A = this chain, B = another copy of it.
Amino acid sequence: MSSNEFIFAVEQPWEKVGEGMYRQILGHDDKMMMVRVKFDKGGIGAVHEHFHSQTSYVVSGQFELQIADEKKVLKKGDAFYIPPHTLHGAVCLEAGELIDVFSPTREDFFKK
């Protein structure tokens, strides 16, 4: 079960996944999944954990990232890595976008 090879932004649906937080699923197969997450200023990715590894890129905006017990402010061009089963969360300080990638794929994102 993998995505199309060419993925056009205008054809991908957006899903509201939290207050001021919207997700678009991009390229994926069973081993990994890329998603684009748009945040309004003040949008909160609540602290949570999952068995997947995650790595993310800050495309735009500014975010306060919490990973385990540490908090840092990241902006355009910065990135982060979340080991499996590590608590993490984000608060959007300036509207922007993250590219989140998970391994293995987030099967839960396909279930409503």
Measured CB to CB, the residues of A under 8 A from B are: 2-9, 26-29, 31-34, 36, 53, 55-57, 59, 65, 67-68, 70, 72, 74, 76-83, 99, 101, 103-104
29 example contacts (A-B, Cβ-Cβ < 8 A) are as follows A2-B81, A3-B55, A5-B67, A5-B68, A6-B65, A6-B72, A6-B78, A7-B79, A8-B74, A9-B78, A9-B79, A26-B81, A27-B55, A27-B80, A28-B55, A28-B81, A29-B81, A31-B31, A31-B32, A32-B32, A32-B55, A32-B101, A34-B55, A34-B56, A34-B57, A36-B79, A57-B59, A57-B99, A101-B101
CB-CB under 8 A from A82, the residues of chain B are: 5
Task: Report the separation of the CA atoms of residues A29 and B80 in the bound assembly, to the nearest whole angstrom.
Answer: 12
Complex CA–CA separation, A56 to B27 (angstroms): 7
Contact A81 B9 (CB under 8 A): no
Contact A2 B83 (CB under 8 A): yes
A56: nearest chain-B partner, CB-CB: B27
